[in-house]
């Protein structure tokens, strides 16, 4: 039995009054998601461990069966792995967004949806002006980049910018972790690390405000925002955790998902034209997933678009991304895979909800469905946050999902 997980990032939502108090999954036209539900078995999954924020790096790592208390080091090291930056033992790697600040508040977490070429130009500029032997800015994708501090201390508190739209930025500056007692004498203190990062934020605002790129652009990419830092993680591969997996691949436009896949021992497949937005190359991802499944036995197919639409509070766009996932991803995958002689097990789920009326991740269970040709269906006939609560799998938590999924042989 081969296995594929289709992950619609941030796809789950809350009931919306404009939609007759339906969630977006309930309202959207999703015949193939519903087909999987009718022919498969559904349930709900808690993806966020106690003590962790509902970030995609946490939820996707947990979905793949890892104990976050043992392996979590933040987004920064995952994105470093994705862009093939070889972290050294004394490195602190942080995700470095380029964001937009307006009227002293965080307007958005993406600087007006930068292209990778635009982001690279700004990051190279900042590295020339602010980088040195201790500080290095490294290009990632679009607005998502990497900041490495030699000797930096991870015991700091950073605010994820997508969790704080329209909030005053100065109140969200980096702070030392409360209650932490210095142990690593070879590293900076948490206070010194926080001071350095806050200094870089302020300096970046002066530099970017006067950059020609921003002078005639309606949306301004006018500040860096470092967060989710950590050291090089130590993770077993999926092949070590689950002997059923002999080989596998991860397909995503997002660096942190590629980084998780790298440490999990998966081949990282990069597809031309993938953007992480609603205009991503859905067909290219499907083609890559089918080709990978023909040769391997596990694929993790990650689609980011719904999460970005949720963060922007764009109801119509998020509905479109959900329907695109249904017709442009699930339909061709299902129609191809269901005809194969060797059976394939499909799982569909989000990593967390990103409600359009809140515009940030929330720590709530997500609906999932598992389908394969010989599964005994339950009584669920539609895929959404309400129907799946009545599914045959009930409520699962963290590693239970991957354990359940991989037992299907």
| Tens digits of residue pLDDT in 116-144 | 999 999 999 999 999 999 999 999 989 99
- Cα 256 from Cα 97, distance rounded (Å): 13
Parse the chain into domains and list their residue ranges: 2-71+233-407, 78-231
More confident residue, 66 or 84: 66
- Cα 282 from Cα 272, distance rounded (Å): 10
Q: Could you tell me the pLDDT band of residue 82, with boundaries at 50, 70 and 90?
A: confident
Q: How many CB atoms are located within 10 Å of the residue 368 CB? A: 26
Q: Could you tell me the pLDDT band of residue 179, with boundaries at 50, 70 and 90?
A: confident
Stated pTM of the model? 0.81
Q: What pLDDT digit, counting tens, does each position of 195-241 carry?
A: 999 999 999 999 999 999 999 899 999 999 999 999 988 899 999 99
- Cα 123 from Cα 138, distance rounded (Å): 7
Instruction: Choose which CATH entry (1.10.600.10, 3.40.720.10, 3.40.50.1820, 3.40.1180.10) describes domain 2-71+233-407.
Output: 3.40.720.10
Tokens for 54, please give them: 């509902």
For residues 108-112, average pLDDT:
95
Tell me the torsion sign for CA atoms 284, 290, 295, 301. positive
For residues 32-61, average pLDDT:
96
Max CA pair span of the chain: 62
Q: What pLDDT digit, counting tens, does each position of 342-375 carry?
A: 999 999 999 999 999 999 999 999 999 999 999 9
For residues 45-65, average pLDDT:
95
* pLDDT of 184 over the 80 cut: no
- Cα 179 from Cα 25, distance rounded (Å): 42
Give the rounded distance of the alpha carbon of 11 from its chain centre.
Answer: 12
Q: Supply the pLDDT for residue 186.
A: 85
Residue 136 burial class via C-beta count within 10 angstroms: exposed 0-12, middle 13-18, buried 19 and up: middle
What are the DSSP calls for 27-79, one per residue? Answer: HS--HHHHHHHHHSEEEEEE-S-TT----HHHHHHHHTT--HHHH---HHHHH
Instruction: Express as a percent the part of the chain with pLDDT over 90.
Output: 91
* Cα→Cα distances 42→29, 330, 375, 397, Å: 19, 16, 11, 14
Radius of gyration (C-alpha) of the chain in whole angstroms: 21
Q: How many CB atoms are located within 10 Å of the residue 79 CB? A: 29
φ/ψ of 29, rounded to 5, equals -85, 105
Q: Could you tell me the pLDDT band of residue 246, with boundaries at 50, 70 and 90?
A: very high
Q: Could you tell me the pLDDT band of residue 292, with boundaries at 50, 70 and 90?
A: very high
Instruction: State the first-to-last Cα distance of the chain, in angstroms, to the nearest integer.
Output: 5
- Cα 356 from Cα 122, distance rounded (Å): 29
């Amino acid at each position: 039995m081969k296995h594929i997980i289709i992950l619609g990032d941030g796809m789950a939502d809350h009931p919306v009054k404009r939609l007759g108090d339906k969630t977006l999954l309930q309202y959207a036209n999703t015949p193939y998601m519903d087909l999987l539900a009718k022919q498969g078995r559904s349930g709900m999954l808690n993806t966020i461990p106690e003590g962790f924020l509902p970030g995609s790096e946490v939820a996707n790592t947990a979905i793949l069966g890892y104990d976050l208390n043992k392996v979590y080091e933040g987004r920064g090291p995952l994105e470093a792995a994705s862009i093939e930056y070889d972290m050294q033992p004394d490195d602190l790697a942080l995700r470095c967004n380029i964001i937009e600040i307006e009227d002293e508040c965080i307007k958005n977490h993406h600087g007006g949806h930068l292209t990778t070429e635009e982001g690279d130009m700004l990051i190279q500029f900042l590295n020339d002006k602010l980088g040195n032997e201790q500080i290095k800015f490294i290009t990632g994708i679009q607005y998502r980049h990497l900041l490495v501090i030699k000797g930096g201390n991870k015991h700091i508190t950073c605010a994820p910018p997508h969790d704080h739209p329209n909030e005053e930025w100065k109140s969200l500056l980096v702070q030392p972790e409360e209650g932490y007692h210095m142990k690593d004498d070879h590293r900076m203190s948490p206070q010194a690390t926080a001071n350095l990062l806050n200094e870089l934020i302020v300096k970046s605002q002066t530099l970017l405000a006067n950059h020609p790129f921003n002078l005639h652009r309606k949306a301004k990419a006018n500040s860096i925002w470092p967060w989710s830092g950590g050291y090089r993680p130590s993770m077993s591969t999926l092949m070590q955790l689950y002997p059923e997996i002999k080989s596998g691949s991860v397909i995503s436009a997002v660096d942190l998902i590629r980084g998780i896949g790298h440490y999990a021992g998966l081949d990282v497949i990069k597809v031309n034209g993938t953007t992480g937005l609603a205009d991503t190359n859905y067909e290219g991802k499907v083609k890559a997933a089918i080709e990978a499944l023909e040769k391997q036995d596990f694929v993790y197919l990650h689609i980011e678009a719904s999460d970005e639409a949720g963060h922007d509070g764009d109801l119509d766009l998020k509905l479109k991304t959900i329907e695109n996932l249904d017709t442009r991803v699930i339909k061709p995958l299902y129609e191809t895979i269901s005809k194969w002689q060797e059976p394939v097990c499909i799982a569909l789920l989000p990593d967390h909800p990103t409600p359009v009326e809140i515009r940030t991740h929330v720590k709530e269970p997500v609906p999932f469905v598992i389908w394969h040709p010989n599964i005994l269906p339950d009584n669920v006939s539609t895929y959404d946050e309400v129907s799946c609560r009545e599914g045959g799998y009930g409520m699962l938590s963290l590693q239970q999902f991957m354990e359940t999924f991989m037992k299907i042989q």
